[in-house]
């Protein structure tokens, strides 16, 4: 499968007529292929982007184009639709972000305040947990879990983690709502689950390109201490952590498992 990463961003420079310039940047995940083109704001539309994609492809269109910037997504998606290319939102366009940094393009994406999870989805209780790195592939990947998200690049062995390293996570017991919650999370596309100190403290789920969801709030000192320990363990596991949704604590059935990593 041929995957490209793309960004379409308004530059600080202007052309000779004073019109604002937009730049399309495209590369593959290894940066063996790079393509850039600019246009004045009057031409900054999906038709122009589609034409540039065709020029860059030289007859070999990609199967997927990944986009990390929310402001770029709709235009690139429209261009992709015209060409029959699947355009996917993805925060982890590492090669593209590297290239844009070299070109001194801003990468920061504005993040809205976190929103509480829909009440009809929230589970019965939750807790912090840890599993050994070896269990990620040897145990969870082998279980019949309806929704299972273990990307190859996040497997502990591919991050260089020792098999005995404890990987922290959060377990949500969803009861009868367990599968509904897991399906909602699948649509939300979880990226990372972070402890945020405040009044009250909370767990915030980073999802999609810029979505933020309040998974839990608490003001108990014991829970806050466990949350700090959770964050410390994330540092030891190179940001790797997990989210597990199951109906109860029997350990017999699971609804969803996501392997996550703190963003760089």
pLDDT tens-digit readout, 56-66? 999 999 999 99
Report the pLDDT value the prediction gives residue 18, as an integer from 0 to 100. 77
> Tens digits of per-residue pLDDT, 113-132?
999 988 777 777 999 999 99
Q: How far apart are CA 211 and CA 75, in angstroms?
A: 19
CA distances from 166 to 36, 55, 261 (A): 43, 48, 14
Reported as a pLDDT band with limits 50, 70 and 90, residue 249 is confident
Residues 193-243: tens digit of each pLDDT: 999 998 889 999 999 999 999 999 999 999 999 999 999 999 999 999 999
* pTM of the predicted model as reported, rounded to 2 decimal places: 0.86
Average pLDDT over residues 151-155: 90
* Gap between the Cα atoms of 93 and 40, Å rounded: 26
CA angle in degrees (0–180, nearest 5) for 161-166-169: 110
pLDDT confidence band for 264 (50 / 70 / 90) = low
Percent of the residues in the chain that have a pLDDT greater than 90, as a whole number: 78
Packed helices 70-83 and 46-57: angle between N→C axes, nearest 10 degrees: 70
CATH numbers and ranges of domains, the chain: 3-102 (3.30.420.10), 115-261 (no CATH)
Helices (H) and strands (E) counted in the chain, each on its own, are 6, 14
Q: Categorize the per-residue pLDDT at 162 as very low, low, confident or very high, splitting at 50, 70 and 90.
A: very high
Report residue 66 as tokens: 């990944």
How many CA atoms lie less than 13 Å away from 80 in the CB half-sphere? Answer: 22
Q: What is the mean pLDDT of residues 126-155?
A: 89
Which tokens is 250 given?
Answer: 């029997």
Over residues 183-187, mean pLDDT: 95
Number of alpha carbons in the 13 Å side-chain half-sphere of residue 58: 4
The predicted model gives 184-199 an average pLDDT of 93
- Name the one residue in this structure whose structure tokens are 């019109």: 19
- How many C-beta atoms lie closer than 10 Å to residue 206's C-beta? 22
* Alpha-carbon span 24 to 98, nearest angstrom: 15
Q: Tokens 């366009």, residue?
A: 93
């Amino acid at each position: 499968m041929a995957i490209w990463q793309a960004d379409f961003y308004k530059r600080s420079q202007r052309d000779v007529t004073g019109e604002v310039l937009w730049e399309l940047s495209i590369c593959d995940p290894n940066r063996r292929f790079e393509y850039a083109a600019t246009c004045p704001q009057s031409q900054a539309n999906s038709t122009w982007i589609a034409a540039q994609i065709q020029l860059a492809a030289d007859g070999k269109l990609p199967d997927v184009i990944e986009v990390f910037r929310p402001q770029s997504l709709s235009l690139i998606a429209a261009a992709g639709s015209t060409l029959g290319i699947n355009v996917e939102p993805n925060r982890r366009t590492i090669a593209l972000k590297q290239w844009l940094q070299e070109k001194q393009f801003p990468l920061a994406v504005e993040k809205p305040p976190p929103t509480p999870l829909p009440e009809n989805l929230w589970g019965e209780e939750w807790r912090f947990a840890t599993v050994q790195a070896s269990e990620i592939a040897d145990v969870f990947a082998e279980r019949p879990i309806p929704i299972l998200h273990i990307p190859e690049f996040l497997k502990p062995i591919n991050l260089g983690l020792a098999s005995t390293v404890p990987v922290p996570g959060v377990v949500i017991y969803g009861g009868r709502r367990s599968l509904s919650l897991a399906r909602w999370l699948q649509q939300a596309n979880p990226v990372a689950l972070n402890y945020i100190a405040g009044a009250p403290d909370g767990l915030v789920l980073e999802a999609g390109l810029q979505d933020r969801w309040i998974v839990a709030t608490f003001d108990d000192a014991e829970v806050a201490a466990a949350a700090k320990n959770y964050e410390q363990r994330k540092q030891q596991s190179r940001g790797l952590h997990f989210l597990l949704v199951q109906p109860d604590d029997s350990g017999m059935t699971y609804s969803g498992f996501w392997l996550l990593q703190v963003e760089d």
